[in-house]
Amino acid sequence: MGKTVINNKSAKFGEYLRSIYQYRQLIFSFAKRDLIARFVQTKLGLLWMIIQPLIALAIFTIFFDQLIQLETGDVPYVAFAFSGMTIWYFFTNMVNASGTALISSQELIRKVYFPKILLPISKIVVAFFEFFVSFILLIVIMLALGMDFSPKITLFPIAVIMVVLVGACMSIWLNILTVKKRDLQHLIPYLTNFGIWVTPVFYPTTLIPEAFRDYIYYINPIATTIDFLRSLLFNIPFDWSYCWSFMPVLAFLFIGIRIFKDKERNLVDDL
């Protein structure tokens, strides 16, 4: 095996990416640790991954389907709402956990060397596992309702990539900022809780005034992702021009990784 030389010099971008690949096994070790801590040591265990989204779905259905009776066309409200919830909670789970990954792992960072970006990546892996369980539950709900599946469902991985890009971008920047601006970590849950009201998770976009509808999509790529997933599942129209909202996401993600890499060498002092 080759020797790994550790110094205080900032690695080149290509070298940094190779180091991430070299230590890739740590991603799954960290993810396994988090899953054990969150679910395995509880009485209901992994059942919480099913119980939590079903409780939220029941609340949305009672208030927005039975009381307010939102119009969702030919798509049953239960399937409509849960399709939005799978994407939204995937995104918020990534941001809430990954956004403070460095602060929550201070002791580990001080003791062991590894590319610190592995910590937020491992949180994304955990969020993906929860998302996968929720998506399987969504399929079960659609089958129970007797719904047909659109052939476009084969494009489902694109929707996953879309939400991962947005979540990873926000997570990287939040880690960069929260190291020195600790108050921000307390604001993250409030921001994500507010975000659900300006994202078509449990309501159709037809409720948004037409004059503002395009702005919602162009400044909120998660809204685009949710509608894209619904178009795949329910074979409803989708405007591909809204995908331009991901161009800034890609740019900020690339810039964020470079800044994260440069700040990593002095991370122990900052923490």
The pLDDT of residue 56 is 85
Does 141 reside within a domain?
yes
The pLDDT of residue 257 is 92
pLDDT for 126-168, tens place per residue? 999 999 999 999 999 999 999 988 888 899 999 999 999 999 9
Contacts by residues 12-20 (CB-CB < 8 Å, ≥ 24 positions apart): 13/257, 13/258, 13/261, 16/115, 16/261, 19/115, 20/115, 20/117, 20/118, 20/121
| 10: pLDDT strictly greater than 80 | no
pLDDT top residue among 190 and 226: 226
H or E stretch covering 221: helix 221-234
Does 270 reside within a domain?
no
Nearest-angstrom CA–CA distance, 177 and 71 = 41
Q: Name 72's Cβ contacts closer than 8 Å, sequence gap at least 6.
A: 80, 204
| 45: pLDDT strictly greater than 70 | no
* pLDDT, mean of residues 33-42: 77
2 confidence band (pLDDT: 50, 70, 90): very low
210 confidence band (pLDDT: 50, 70, 90): confident
Does 63 reside within a domain?
yes
Does 264 reside within a domain?
no
The pLDDT of residue 1 is 42
DSSP state of 71: -
| 4: pLDDT strictly greater than 60 | no
The pLDDT of residue 181 is 79
* CB 90 within 8 Å of CB 123: no
| 6: pLDDT strictly greater than 60 | no
Print the domain residue range for 213.
Answer: 13-259
Does 4 reside within a domain?
no
| Residue 102: both structure tokens together | 């460095």
Domain count, the chain: 1
* pLDDT, mean of residues 53-79: 83
111 confidence band (pLDDT: 50, 70, 90): confident
Mean pLDDT of the chain: 85
Does 8 reside within a domain?
no
Distance of alpha carbon 12 from the chain centroid: 28
3 state DSSP class of 141: helix
Does 49 reside within a domain?
yes
Q: Name 32's Cβ contacts closer than 8 Å, sequence gap at least 6.
A: none
| 265: pLDDT strictly greater than 90 | no
The pLDDT of residue 41 is 67
Lowest mean pLDDT among 158-172, 193-207, 248-262: 193-207
| 271: pLDDT strictly greater than 70 | no
* CB 49 within 8 Å of CB 130: yes
Does 147 reside within a domain?
yes
* pLDDT, mean of residues 93-115: 85
- Centre a 10 Å sphere on the Cβ of residue 129 and count the other Cβ atoms it contains: 17
Identify the residue whose tokens are 């949710």. Answer: 226
pTM (predicted TM-score): 0.88
- Helices 118-144 and 48-60: crossing angle in degrees, nearest 10, is 60
